[in-house]
Amino acid sequence: MVLKKRATALLVAGLLTAASTVVSAAESVNFVSWGGSTQDAQKQAWADPFTRDSKITVVQDGPTDYGKLKAMVESGNVQWDVVDVEADFALRAAAEGLLEPLDFNTIQRDKLDPRFVSDHGVGSFFFSFVLGYNEGKLGASKPVDWSALFDTKTYPGKRALYKWPSPGVLELALLADGVAADKLYPLDLDRAFKKLDTIKKDIVWWGGGAQSQQLLASGEASLGQFWNGRVYALQQDGAPVGVSWKQNLVMADFLVIPKGAKNKDAAMKFLANASSAKGQADFSNLTAYAPVNLDSVARLDSVLAPNLPTAYAKDQITLDFAYWAKNGPAIATRWNEWLVK
């Protein structure tokens, strides 16, 4: 009788343990982003408060890897629930059937800037490529717009440009060559590459934010194309750098849910929290990147607000994510061939 009771107790305990494991697995979200200070801020502004309020654990992972995301979906073994990706990839991945459609009964779509929301993704944040310059290298000469990059006589020195084949460099080349902002697309690739040829020997390429900051702060590059948050951080550290917001080029990251994500419902709740007015404002105040929620602006730090893209809407050009989603792979082939010529 004692043995029977003990066996029953063990069985019940085993069932309870198994049940709690299932519940625990269901009440978690695997969040993938780019690492570094950005993901640290996402954890502080979104993940930690979300876990505190919902009791849903957020497991940090990364870095974002597009090939890995696609392989997971195609194999049916999806380990990621929410992934921070670039806007053009979000649109391309949706077209390829790699993403879950979002539940806008849970997520408040009407509160989001329409530029940064789609049926399969919500904005993580948006930022601008701005013209940054080293004041010590240029002295009294203050560049105004992208044409300064191509004026090596007035503005001598190396130019720092983003090395990846993505929205930004081709557009700024065309703007500097006189193309009107509303006439940029479809991109005239021949004209853009011809313009870039004129300064190719003067270009120093950067692939990440820390590298871009080092190039500018050290004066290795006199001026160039930079993420606005990185220039702001240099200024906060007392570096002798200036910035022009004229023709600032808006780019965004999106949060998406891979097709077949194991914790889809919890992931939707996480997206609702991350895209809320408070979640977006808290992240912006930590990073100097701009919020996608329209109600977040009133919550921004008054000192920080003038350093965000939201303050320069009149001088702003939003890059065409849909164009890049469709044409990006072909442009990348030409870009990579041009780089090695």
- The mean-pLDDT minimum among 59-63, 136-140, 269-273 falls in 136-140
Q: How confident is the model at residue 125 (pLDDT cuts 50, 70, 90)?
A: very high
Considering the chain, what is the average pLDDT of its residues?
A: 92
Distance of alpha carbon 60 from alpha carbon 220, whole angstroms: 35
Q: Which residue pairs from 296-303 have beta carbons closer than 8 angstroms and sit at least 24 positions apart in sequence?
A: none
Range of the domain at 56: 28-126+253-311
Q: Looking at this protein, which amino acid is placed at residue 142?
A: K
Q: What's the CATH code of the domain at 201?
A: 3.40.190.10
What average pLDDT does range 146-156 have in this prediction?
97
- Identify whether residues 262 and 286 lie together within a single domain: yes
Q: How many domains does the chain have?
A: 2
Q: In this structure, are 202 and 281 located in the same domain?
A: no
Mean pLDDT to the nearest integer, 314-323 = 95
Domain assignment of residue 21, yes or no: no
pLDDT-derived band of residue 176, with 50, 70 and 90 as boundaries?
very high
Please state, in angstroms and rounded to a whole number, the distance separating the CA atoms of residues 123 and 91.
12
Chain segment 17-26, per-residue pLDDT in tens: 444 444 344 5
Residues 151 and 39 in one domain: no
Same domain, 212 and 86: no
Same domain, 142 and 217: yes
The pLDDT score that the predictor gives to residue 233 is: 87
Whether 225 is in a domain gets the answer yes
Residues 182 and 298 in one domain: no
CA 81 – CA 270 distance, rounded (Å): 10
Task: Supply the DSSP string of 133-185, one letter for each residue.
Answer: EEHHHHTT----SGGGGG-TTTS-SEEEEE-SSSTTHHHHHHHHTT--GGG--
- Which residue, chain included where needed, has tokens 């950067």? 206
Q: Rounded to whole angstroms, what are the CA distances from 235 to 19, 106, 261, 307?
A: 53, 39, 41, 11
Specify whether 153 is located in the same domain as 197.
yes
- Residue 133 sits in the same domain as residue 238: yes
Residue 332 counted as domain residue: no
152 and 242 in a common domain: yes
